[in-house]
Amino acid sequence: MPKNFSKSSIKIAVIGGSGLEDPKFFKKIKEVNIKTPFGYPSAPIIIADFNGTHVAFLSRHGKKHQFPPHKVPQRANIWALKSLGVERIIGISAVGSLQKDFKPGDIVISDQFVDFTKKRDYTFYEEETIHVSLADPFCPELRTLFYREAKKLKISVHQNGTYWCIEGPRFSTRAESKLFRNFADVIGMTLCPEAALARESEICYLNLSMVTDYDVWAKHPVNLSELLKTMEENAEKIKNLLLNAIPKIKEQAKCSCQESLSNAKF
């Protein structure tokens, strides 16, 4: 893993979409484009002043949304953030709902995932055997904080939820969606291997899923125009949640995320 080349105090990163790149939201300080052993990240990393806290922001799909889910350079993204000194990542995803009570407009703080992707780069360790534990793949400290702050803001939020990650870029068939409903609450295309790579990097990782639709198991299947409309509405909720929660992230983590490699070597 990379050693920090920066002596800056950038400890928190947000990975999300273009809807969050609002100059009223992030006060941009500079951009850095870091070359990694896996190429460049999907976009230059924005270093910004965020309500008094310096935060790194990375557009997962690129500045022009040019990377479809299965082509996002996830290893380069996580490596670049690690090299900056990032210790906490807040990953924001748009998802479809697989359950009636997970409604469009809700925010889900995932506690589990099922990886149904097929051809991605899943690890940094190609030359040695490393087995990190993903029994509980998301940082418990961040999950508790963000749930508490969401409740204070009266945001419709789910404290737990299983995220089913598919390859994409296509949406599911009705038969697939019915199958997935037996095992998960929401469905998306971007969580994996992002969460696993963060764990290999000993970075605390949180997933905030924005529910945009009912996938295709419902009578009215998902379509892109409705999805984008709901995403825009959800972005305001996410912004408010980040504004309230990020300043309350403690400087020193009390979880075990940053010791993930201690017993992982074969």
> Is 93 annotated among the ligand-binding residues?
yes
Q: Which pLDDT value is given to residue 36?
A: 97
Are 114 and 188 within 8 A, CB to CB? no
Q: Is the pLDDT of residue 223 over 70?
A: no
Q: pLDDT, tens digit, for every residue of 177-186?
A: 999 999 999 9
Q: For residue range 69-100, what is the model confidence (pLDDT) as tens digits?
A: 999 999 999 999 999 999 999 999 999 999 99
The catalytic residues are: 213, 215
Q: Is 230 annotated among the ligand-binding residues?
A: no
In the chain, the largest separation of any two C-alpha atoms, in whole Å, equals 53
Tell me the HSE value of 92 on the side-chain side, using a 13 A CA sphere: 26
Q: What is the model's pLDDT at position 255?
A: 93
Q: Which CATH architecture has domain 12-259?
A: 3-Layer(aba) Sandwich (3.40)
The pLDDT of residue 101 is 96
Q: Is there a binding annotation on residue 156?
A: no
Q: Per the confidence metrics, is the pTM higher than 0.75?
A: yes
Rounded alpha-carbon distances, angstroms, from residue 77 to 29, 172, 184, 194, 251 = 20, 27, 27, 9, 23
Q: Which residue has the tokens 């965020």?
A: 50
Cα 22 vs. chain centroid, distance in angstroms? Answer: 18
User: Three-state DSSP class for 85?
Assistant: coil
Q: Where are the domains of the chain?
A: 12-259
Which tokens in the block code for residue 171? 């949406």
The burial of 125, by beta-carbon neighbours within 10 Å (0-12 exposed, 13-18 middle, 19 or more buried), is given as: middle
- What tens digit of pLDDT does each residue of 121-172 get? 999 999 999 999 999 999 999 999 999 999 999 999 999 999 999 999 999 9
